[in-house]
Chain A
Amino acid sequence: MKRPLLAGVFLIAFLVSAPASETPPQLKPFERGSWQQLLRSHTGHPTIVHFWGVTCGPCKIELPLLGAFMKDHPAIDVVTISADLVPDLPGATRSMLEKANLSSAENWIFSDGFVERLRFEIDPAWQGDIPRTMLISRDGAITTIEGSADMRDVEKWSDQQLTVSR
């Protein structure tokens, strides 16, 4: 009786930890404290954090560009955060991430109805406009791009980061 249950639990654990490229995008719930956790886990790594939402027109255009960037720049950590107000749409979120070739990125979804508090933790001045991109350097310096990012600027930042590391 116990063994099948144990096997089932391990199977679930295996599925969750399986390589992302072979599974649909995993969505981590973004809650109070998640931002600091995210920053800590990428300390010392150049990281792009991209805020977007399934109903945001400009986001639909930008997301595949970010997917292409991630493929070409394996040394840069790519994080997406779906920052729409209502987070009960993991299906649509996963589908858009998959189409944009971002399945293997670190993908989060806002999972606290008190979005003002989530945004305040990230940047007190942010009123929720998306898309929004934060470029976090190896030394922790953050550059925020409001609205659609010009990928040439992202490339330039990325080149600088990789030059510094050499």
Chain B
Amino acid sequence: MIRGKVLATVVLAFWQTCAYAQMNHQHASEAACNEAVLRCASKVTPAFSPDRTLWLAWMAGGQVSVASSKDHGHSFSEPVLVTKGRLNLDWGPDARPRIVVDRNGGIALAFSIFRDNAFNGQVLYTRSMDGGKSFAELRPITAGNDSQRFEALALDTDGSVFAAWLDKRNRVPAQQRGQKYEGAGLFFAFSKDGGATYSKSRLAQDNTCECCRLGLAFAGPSRPVIVFRNIFEGGVRDHAIMTFADPATPGELHRVSQDDWQISACPHHGPSLSISTGGTYHVTWYTNGKARKGLFYARSQDGGRTFSNPLPVGRADRSPSRPYVLAGPQGTAIVWKEFDGEKTTVNLMTSHDDGMTWSTPTTIAKTTDTSDHPLLVSDGRRVFLSWMTKADGYRFQPIEDEP
């Protein structure tokens, strides 16, 4: 009798463990499900084409897919798989597929995978020339075998594509010379054929922070601008900005802010950049520096040489994170996440005067489980929030309180 009870107890415990393990697999994932469909996506990136079609590229079930919407996200075309089978996609918090669509309907796309068991990354790219019906075979953006991650794409006015990413190719040669090597190099390349082939990759800045997304925008035709977490003297991981003279010529490095965040770590929390038609640079970022902690915004009116005093963004007691700025057709908007211990909210503030003054923040979306970064995208008329959530699916909503 006693033995029977012991057996029952142990078996129950064993069964519970198995049941827990099954439940935990779903619970532990940052995605709601494990297929390639949008509902299962962990990261979703939006882009509008010049004809105001919304395009999404997403990571789900180990694959990258693309679909489009003619009605601002109410309905989508049949998704097209960019990948042929499951890949070990880069799941770093700041990694996501990148997509740009040109005026001829050509789509350039890039994303990263982990190419080996040591989590060395590789940036792959592809393009579609038939309106997203099919994609060319995936190709590495550079021939190097050293880790590459955190690519960014932007479209120039002439239809050429500018790509930037973080690349560790200089690490081993430096170590062979007996030199200490920190971080990764900021590399770039450009494509004059809509993303079919890219130029030889070149170094813009060495020893930048290796695990944060890049902010990339154009200040005008042929003038890409990159904002990134740099590693300054003494291991200080503050933000820097570089305006290129042309897509092949990196410019001078300027510091966005003296936050003094000296840390030998992966912050996994990169900046955001947008440039208004008037030429004002808008930058948002996260720091935990000695000088300031939290999310901040600053603007530059001299092409990124100097920036305004950093403006704190969000409630410091609500763990504000993932700021994203967009200079839209009628004003500038910043969204970010806050967390109160139970739910995550997306908060918005807007500016009618090119970033000089800002509205009181308002909450525009919320969820009670994990979520992607909130992103802003414009069709040239309105600004929209794009936000993937595990519990509530994909959300695409106009910013009602648009500036």
Using a CB–CB distance below 8 Å, which chain A residues touch chain B?
Answer: 2, 5-6, 9-10, 12-13, 29, 31, 53-59, 85-88, 92, 110-117, 119-121, 124-125, 127-132, 146-148
Contact = CB atoms under 8 A, between A and B. Distances in A.
A127 B265 CA distance: 12
A129 B268 contact: yes
Contacts of A56: 211, 265-266
Contacts of B370: 113-116
Contacts of B202: none
A12 B13 CA distance: 12
A9 B30 CA distance: 32
B11 A5 contact: yes
Interface in B83-119: 91-93, 114, 117, 119
7 contacts: A6-B10, A29-B28, A86-B29, A112-B27, A116-B337, A121-B341, A129-B266
Given A115-B370, A117-B341, A129 B7 contact: no
A16 to B, nearest CB: 10
Contacts of B293: 125
Contact of B29 (A12, A31, A53, A88): A88
Cβ-closest 10 pairs across A and B: A147-B265, A147-B263, A148-B264, A113-B30, A55-B119, A129-B267, A147-B264, A114-B370, A111-B28, A129-B265
B321 interface: yes
Contacts of B369: 113-114
Contacts of A117: 339, 341-342
B390 interface: yes
Interface string B1-38: 00100110011001000000000110111110000000
A56 B7 CA distance: 44
A131 to B, nearest CB: 6
Nearest to A12: B14
Contacts of B10: 6, 9-10, 13
